[in-house]
């Protein structure tokens, strides 16, 4: 069977399905190929299910602290099957929604594994047999998969975040190898549900690459939950047994052993460019296996594009979606280019961390002439009323112009607050612009305004020194 189309998209994650829809909106005949599940990793075993689990765990843990509000709650328990059902329902709603959108835009959904035969042909292995697809333009959006390491390979009890999200029973103990974003988020989930969690991180701090002041706030909270955090821990072996796993690690010159029911590996991801026959299409990769692209996400083959995890930059769903629209518009002949001034990122820890634009570490490393202004959550009325006073906002502005160039937030709802700052950076707004924008009271958003007032040298709720 041979399928012919104008545009084919390989992969239906947040990059792939957005690219397909945008190309169809622009009048192209589009097919999208998915080998596993519509919505990709993000919707099925990543962003969405993890946030559902984070929400469930956070609400369960919150009830334990209701006494401070004068609320006496009897002993609370949880039903793990219902927790998992909540996660699965969130996934189902969104994946069904994506499939509805694809069908509504007359996009042909092809199930199977795609590999290039040449620069205009794909072979597709599916349950219905072998198919051939001929295309004019192609967008590769194949994403990435969890990485393991020689001392610790995936097995029944050594698993990735995919399996951890859908454990049939809550484990009594869990070792998390890798204290990055995924590791810390899921360590928080299971600690909230009462699992004894140990985090082994090879570098000197958790969340490597994030400012130490931000991570310290999160680390304190994790320790309050009973999470054991071991940094500078170089894992060098594992032994799987019937009832658990023992992991050995070199820590401060000594070999230490850690035992748990399960081990979750969260040490990064491998890009999916190694099994799609990309060499047959003549598409160039860099030394890391990433696809080389230009400012329109176009590869060295002018009719083949690549987006998301498989190209340079942070592996973020919203980055993939942004690039998807650029690639689709380029195929349609538009002059759209990848030109974002900032790429916000969030850690859904407790409290959350959100960063956009230039960071405080970059200011120091690059010796930028910038002003950094901070305001604590503890000085905000809404934060006090919510009993969410841990954290702060650090606003970074250009000293000469007053333009906002970056922001770091650690605290409740940081993931929502960061959007105002990303808009400010993109539109080259100044701290004066933010300071003079009326923010409703009482809201956490006032912390942004207060920080901007400090930067503009006219603070109201801070005593000038």
| Binding-site annotation, residues for NAD(+) | 178-185, 201, 268
From residue 292, how far is each of 281, 288, 368 by CA, in Å?
A: 13, 10, 30
318 belongs to the catalytic site: no
Using DSSP bridges, classify how beta strands 144-146 and 158-159 pair: parallel, antiparallel or unpaired. Answer: unpaired
Count of C-beta atoms within a 10 Å radius of residue 90: 18
How many whole angstroms separate alpha carbon 402 and alpha carbon 168?
53
120, 303, 318, 441: the catalytic one is 441
Cβ-based neighbour number of residue 126 at 10 Å: 15
Find all residues with CB under 8 Å of 340, minimum gap 6, and list them.
322, 426
Residue 131's φ and ψ, nearest 5 degrees, are: -130, 155
- d(C-alpha 345, C-alpha 219), whole Å: 18
Binding residue positions: 51, 142-144, 178-185, 201, 268, 309
Number of helices followed by number of strands (H, E) in the chain: 13, 22
Cα–Cα distances in angstroms (integers) from residue 350 to residues 215, 310, 442, in the given order:
10, 30, 22
265, with CB counted inside 10 A (0-12, 13-18, 19+), is: buried
Of 344, 342, 297, 302, nearest to 19 (Cα)? 297
Annotated binding site for FAD: 51, 142-144, 309
87: its two tokens:
């996660």
Distance CA 312, CA 291 (A): 8
User: Hey, what are 337's tokens?
Assistant: 């280019």
Question: How many Cβ atoms are within 10 Å of 218's Cβ, its own excluded?
Answer: 23
Taking a C-beta distance cutoff of 8 angstroms, is the pair 245, 263 a contact? yes
Positions annotated as catalytic residues are 441
């Amino acid at each position: 069977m041979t399928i012919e189309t104008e545009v084919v998209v390989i992969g239906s994650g947040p990059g792939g399905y957005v690219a397909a829809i945008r190309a169809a909106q622009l009048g192209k005949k589009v097919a999208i190929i998915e080998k596993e599940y519509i919505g990709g990793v993000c919707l099925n075993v990543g962003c969405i299910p993890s946030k559902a689990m984070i929400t469930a765990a956070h609400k369960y843990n919150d009830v334990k602290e209701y006494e401070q509000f004068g609320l006496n709650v009897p002993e609370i328990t949880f039903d793990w099957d219902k927790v998992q059902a909540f996660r699965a329902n969130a996934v189902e709603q969104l994946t069904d929604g994506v499939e509805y959108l694809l069908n509504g835009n007359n996009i042909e959904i092809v199930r199977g594994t795609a590999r290039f035969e040449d620069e205009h042909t794909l072979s597709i292995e599916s349950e219905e047999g072998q198919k051939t697809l001929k295309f004019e333009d192609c967008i590769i959006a194949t994403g990435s998969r969890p990485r393991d390491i020689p001392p610790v390979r995936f097995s029944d009890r050594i698993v990735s975040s995919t399996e951890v999200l859908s454990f049939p029973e809550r484990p009594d103990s869990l070792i998390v190898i890798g204290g990055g974003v995924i590791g810390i988020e899921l360590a928080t989930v299971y600690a909230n549900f009462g699992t004894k969690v140990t985090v082994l991180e090879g570098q000197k701090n958790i969340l490597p690459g994030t400012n130490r002041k931000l991570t310290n706030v999160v680390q304190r909270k994790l320790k309050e939950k009973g999470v054991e955090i071991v940094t500078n821990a170089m894992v060098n072996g594992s032994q799987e047994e019937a009832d658990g796993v023992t992991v050995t690690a070199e820590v401060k010159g000594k070999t230490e052993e850690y035992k748990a029911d399960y081990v979750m590996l969260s040490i990064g991801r491998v890009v999916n460019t190694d099994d799609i026959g990309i060499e047959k299409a003549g598409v160039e990769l860099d030394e890391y296996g990433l696809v080389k692209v230009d400012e329109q996400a176009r590869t060295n083959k002018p009719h083949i594009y690549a987006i998301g995890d498989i190209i340079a930059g942070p592996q973020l769903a919203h980055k993939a979606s942004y690039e998807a629209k650029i690639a689709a518009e380029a195929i349609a002949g538009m002059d759209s280019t990848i030109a974002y001034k900032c790429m916000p990122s969030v850690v859904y820890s407790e409290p959350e961390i959100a960063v956009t634009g230039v960071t405080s570490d970059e200011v120091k490393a690059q010796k930028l002439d910038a002003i950094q202004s901070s305001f604590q959550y503890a000085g905000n009325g809404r934060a006090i009323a919510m009993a969410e006073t841990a954290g702060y906002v650090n606003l970074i502005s250009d000293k000469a112009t007053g333009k906002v160039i970056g922001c770091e937030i650690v605290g409740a709802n940081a993931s929502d607050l960061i959007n105002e700052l990303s808009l400010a950076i993109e539109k080259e707004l100044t701290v004066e612009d933010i300071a003079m924008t009326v923010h409703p009271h009482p809201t956490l958003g006032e912390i942004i305004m207060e920080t901007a007032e400090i930067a503009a040298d006219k603070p109201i709720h801070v005593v000038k020194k």
